[in-house]
Amino acid sequence: MDLDTEKIDEAALALLYLSLHDIRMVWKGVDWDVTERLCTKGLILDPINKSRQLTLTDEGLRAAEAACRRLFGMQP
């Protein structure tokens, strides 16, 4: 089955936003291919480290919040 990696990345970013703490830190728990694509897009810092956390860039933080609202927000 062909998958839309843009949609996967957006959903992963939204899920990362749900674990946001310390301003821009999120817990790792997303597929390595997804984190590599998010890093290439400039939305997170380099995911290859010993930390169990990822760091969102300024752009990544804005995109993560927007994706979370769009995908998971309650409609009025």
**Tens of pLDDT, residues 1-55:** 888 999 999 999 999 999 999 988 998 888 889 999 999 999 999 988 888 899 9
Residue 61: is its pLDDT beyond 90? yes
Q: Which CATH number fits domain 5-71: 3.40.50, 1.10.287, 1.10.10, 1.10.3470?
A: 1.10.10
Instruction: Determine the pLDDT at residue 28.
Output: 85
Q: Which two tokens stand for residue 30?
A: 């997303």
Angle 8-40-45 (CA atoms, 0-180°, nearest 5)? 100
- Give pTM, 2 decimals: 0.81
Beta strands in the chain (DSSP E): 25-27, 53-55
pLDDT confidence tier of residue 76, bands split at 50, 70 and 90: low
